[in-house]
Every structure is written in structure tokens, then in C-alpha cells.
Amino acid sequence: MSFAAREEIRLASRDLGDGLRQTELTVPGIRCAGCIGKIEKGLLESAEVRQARVNLSTKRVRVAWSGDSTPDLIQALDRLGFTAHLTEPEAERKDPELTRLIRALAVAGFTSMNIMLLSVSVWSGADAQTRHAFHAISAVLALPCLIYSGQIFFRSAWSALRRGRTNMDVPISVGVLLAFAMSVYDTLHNGPHAYFDAVTSLIFFLLIGRTLDHLMREKARTAVSGLARMAPRGATVVAADGAREHRPIEEIEPGMRIALAAGDRVPVDGVVESGASDLDCAVVTGESAPRRVEPGATVQAGVLNLTGPLILTASARAEDSFLAEMTRLMAAAEDGRAGYRRIADRAAALYSPVVHSVAFLTFLGWMAVAGDWRQAITVAIAVLIITCPCAMGLAAPIVQVMAARRLFENGVMVKDGAGLERLARIDVVAFDKTGTLTLGRPRLVNAGSLAPEHLAIASALAQGSNHPVSRAVVAASPYPAPLLSDVREDAGLGVEGRIDGAIWRLGRADWALTADQAQDIEGTVLSCDGRLSAALIFEDALRPDAAEAIRRLRAKGLDILILSGDQTPVVEATAKALGVETFSARLLPSEKVERLNALAAEGRRVLMVGDGLNDAPALSAAHVSMAPGDAADIGRNAADFVFLNPSLNSIELALDVARETEKLVRQNFALSILYNAIALPIAILGHVTPLVAALAMSLSSIVVVGNALRLKAGRRDAVKSQMNVPARRASTTKAVA
């Protein structure tokens, strides 16, 4: 066991006092009583362990230990033949809402089944005395269901009514209470009918739908909370004198040096300072193939170090790490209010007054026709129950939750749930070039032909920018950088600074040079007081499978175009390599926005894909937007989707899921409308009892949930195999940049 792993166990343990600490481990391999005895006896052989208790039902081991040395609990269990890991605090906490729903469901299920058995005897022609006795027993059995299970709906209805509004639980509560009250009245007066079976069955089936909805949402959220648990609780910090100290993750600051052993997870974003290893980056990219890292490589929090020790330099705090940001993005997936969800919300808001009015008019109509108030109330109750809009309320959100989950499993983060609806309707895909179609790692190819003083000054200017071209200049310069003053960056143009009063600029030729000198020059240049000092030439590699991804998007009927701020020869070469006919070069960020607005004015719906360095305004202006996971923070924040896999086939995946989501939502709305169109007239005509109404309404909700589950049944492996096609030999584009 590594030093870091020992400290993880100590940090995860609880202080019991008197030098005694307690650690809880999850051991999935516990199967029987024999396993319990083997584990408890084996752990007690350790000198530090004072007590070991195994819980077979939860498959957990609770170990009490003492001493200055942390016991090798995980290794001890491994020697016994059991794989173990620390029990996560998040997993230890139970969901109180789910617990409440399951208990309420159990009570409702027990009472409804027993009352249904009694009702069978009544329906079979029991005599008046037996019928009265069975009705009385049913009333007693229904009370716990009404009081305990029904409170979930009653509290919601009362909360809405006390604020002067209604919700879908109001008519449900009214129908349940009316049916129960009328059944009690008929029981007391030895009436022939009672609807205790309808009351309890309605609550039971409603709770089934509500519990299913909650479980599906929690399953999606479990993936998000699982991301947070990818980061360890602490890290081994290496001091300047070489001393090592294990610190909690909250104390890790940028600039600290972190020792990472094989088998440890990266605690925070950082840069490899020394060592080489293979990393399992599945949590970041969705790819199972290990990634080789060496000094200078960037690593993200949560990835697993597989083969060798590394020394990292932290570049962000835990709360600012890539993993934390992905967790926040995924958690926000349900916040978007898509058009379909707004329609469902408005329908649910209109539902209560409309259905109450219809039920009241039905009561008056039956009173006028039949003159029997019991029958009139029974039909009105059936109308209230059968038209419950649960199915319509679930139609859109349940599908969106499943869509976000499916995309997350394939390495696409959904930042805005409404983006799924917009993505399904696009007809144009606009790509930025640098960092999107290319890997964003350009290389300065003519560094050897530049004057050393010019390359040094260019490097000094480039240090004030995070643009890939600037990083390439810094990487290519072996010379010490001179001191600059008044350094500033103009987005999309370049970097400016002063040396001995002279103004030096590194950036676009039309910005860095005077008008007369810039006439015949394109690309990135170094200038002094507007005069050309050096022209810089770069080359960059295309993303793997970029051409294949564009071909597949075009096959779906989408128009493809490139909007780039790079020089014309480079953009033209990239477009030719990818088979894209429409492209625009030398665009400023504002000009990209103008192009997108012009397309929108023509009625086109554009998906903008950019890395965010100069694309944040365009990402915000587009109909819908996506950014790669290695994009700048501002780009990830502006985009509706973030794809973590380096392959651009993630765009096709997201588009397919979005279109399938829209299809399923439309189907759910159609099913809900069709159900109400058929059920409501039948209920008004008196052909439906409250019990049948409860069964029909619950069935409509289950059908909608089942239809949404078809999205999760999508062929994930087939999609991922498309995303993991072996990379072709990287193409490059080369010109004056």
C-alpha cells in the first residue's frame, strides 16, 4: 500500500476517542457467513485492529483500530481474496425522499391488495351483512393508506392552495377525499357500493409513477455524484527540500508539487513535472485506451495513474478543477426550460381549473338527468381521477433526464437541457478551426530562420497570452525573454508591449503593421512601431477523424462551414483537407457573430462548434453550441454542450440523441393527448368507475415512462465504437500564420 493510500484511510476514518479510530470499507465479494468469518478473523490478525464487524446485507466491513501506524486494511482484505475500497460518504447517505416514497408505496400496496381481495367477494354477490362487514374492514384498512401514503399528495395540494394556485395534486386529492368520504357514508348507511379499493389503488399506482420518476432522476444524478467521488480526499505534497506531507484536498493550492504513485487518482488539475506514465482518462474522454504522459503534459483531476510515479505541479484548486466543472455542468442539465417542458407546465397549470369545471358540470348534468346524487358524485370523481395530467407532466422531463444520462455515459456533458431541443432542429454546423478542427497545438516551423532577438521578444509578448499560437512561440524560443511594460492583449488580434519606448506587437498582420506594410502580408507577424520585424510560420494537426465526422454530418443533410480568424491560406488548406466548400477566414469575434446573425435572419439554425479562445461570443450567439473538453474555460461556460472525447464524432452522437429525444417527447405528448381524448368522454358518460379510472390513469403514466426508457436502450457500444475509430495519420496545415 502506498503512503498516499495509507493517508486516505486515515483521512476517511472517524475518531472514536481514546486513540481509537473507525474505518468503513465496502467489500462487494461478501457472499455468505463463511466470508464473514474469514474476513473478521483475518483482519483481527493485524496488531492495530481492535474490532472487525461485517454486514452481509450492505457488504460493508467496519474496522476499529488504534496506533500511530495506519493498518493495511485494503491489502489485508486483498490477501484474503476480497477486493475492497473506502465507503464513500455520499453513498452512505440515504435519499430521504426515496425512502419516504418507498415506505408510502409499501403501505399503499399492502392496503390496496387486501382491500381488493375483500372487494372480489363483494363483487361476487356477497349478502348484505357480509358486504357491510367487508366495507367496514376496508374502511379501517384504507385509513393508514390515506393518512400516511396520501399525505405526499395532500401536502403538495395544500401547499399550492394556500398560495392561491393549483397543481396536479389538487384534483387528485379532491378525488381521493371525495371517494373516501362517500364510501364511508355508504358504509355507515349500508349502501351497496364503496370505493375504498379505488382510493387505495389510485394512491398506489400514482406512487409507482412518482417513485419511478424519482429513481430515474436519481440514477442520472448518481453519475454526477460519481464524478465528484473520482477525486481523492487528499494528496502527497512535495516541499522544496523534498519532504513529503499528505494534505487534505482542500489545502492544495496552485503551484504545489504533488507526488502521484501508480494506482492513485489525480487530485487536481496539473502539469507533469517529472516522470512518465499511462493514464486511464475514461472519466474525462470516455475512451478506454490509456494515454501516455510525459513532462509538460497537462492532466485533469479524476484520471487514474496506471503505470509509473509522477510529480505534478498543481494548476488549479479542487473547486476550480476540470472534474468539478464537469460536475457542475452535468448537474445543470435539468435546469434548462425547453419549449416542450414549458408546454407541459402550462398544460398542467390549466389542468386543475379546467378539470374541476368539467367535473362540476358532469355532476350537475348527472343530477339533472338521473337525480341520484351518489351516482353524480361517483361519475364526477371518475372524471377527476381519469384526467390526471401525470403522463403529460412526465412527457418531456423524463426523456430529457434519460438523454442527459446517455450523453454523459458517452462523454458528452449537457449544460442546458433546452439545448437538446434546439440541437434536434439544426440545419447548419459552423466550425472554428484552431482548437476545434485542429488539435490547437500549432508548432512554429521557421524558428531557426528568425533573428534570436526577434524570437526572444516574440516569446516575451506571447507569455502574456494563452492562445495556442502564443504557446507555440514560447515553446520554440530558447532565449531569455526581455522585460516588457504595458503588456495587453486584444482579443482576436494579438499582444502588444513596450521595450525602451518602442511598441512591439505580435499578432495579425493587419493589426500589427501600418496600412502600407500590411497590404501584401497575412498571418502572424512581429512588428516594431508598425514595421515588420519577422513573419512566423506555423503548422497544426487536424483532429483525428475530423474528415469522417464532417462526412457523416453532411450525410444527415447538414450544411458545413468554417468560420475562422486564421489567415486565408491556412483556412483554405484545412477546408480542402476536410472537403468543406464554404469557409471564411480572417474573422474577428464580432464578425463571427455577424455571420451567425445573418444565417439566423435567413431562417437557418446553426450549431456553432468552437474552443472558446475567441469564440465565446459566437457560441452564445448561435442557435446551439458545443465546445471540446480541452477548450478554454470561457468557451465551456458559453457552450450548451461539452464533448470530452477528442473525436468530433461526439457531435453526431449528440445530434442523434437530441433528435431521438424530440421524437420520444412528441410521442409522449401524443399518447397523453390521445389518452385524455378517449378517456374523458367515456368517464363523463358514466362508463368508468373510480377504480377503473385509477387503473387507466396510472397505466398512462407507466406507458410514458416506458416510452422514455427506450432512449436508454440506445446502442451505446455502437456509438462509442464510432467514436473510437483508430486515428488516421494526422493531417497538417501549413502556411504563414
Residues with catalytic roles: 432
Distances (CA, A) of 546 to 431, 575, 608, 650, 666: 11, 11, 15, 11, 33
Strands 502-508 and 494-499: antiparallel
Spell out a b/e string for 37-76, using b for 16 or more CB atoms within 10 Å of the CB, else e.
ebbbebbeebebbbebebeeeebbbbbbbeeeebbbbbeb
φ, ψ dihedrals at 328, nearest 5°: -65, -40
Of 34, 2, 381, 390, nearest to 208 by C-alpha is 390
CB of 654 within 8 A of CB of 640? no
d(CA 369, CA 359): 15
Residue-by-residue DSSP string for 287-330: --S-EEE-TT-EE-TTPEE-SS-EEEEE-S-GGGSHHHHHHHHH
C-alpha cell, 473 = 512561440
d(CA 411, CA 406): 9
Distances (CA, A) of 397 to 152, 217, 403: 20, 9, 10
Of 579, 560, 570, 321, nearest to 469 by C-alpha is 570
Alpha helices in 424-567 (DSSP H): 452-462, 468-476, 509-512, 546-555
C-alpha cell, 471 = 504557446
- Return the DSSP state at 434: I
d(CA 100, CA 96): 6
Counting DSSP H helices and E strands in the chain, the numbers are: 27, 28
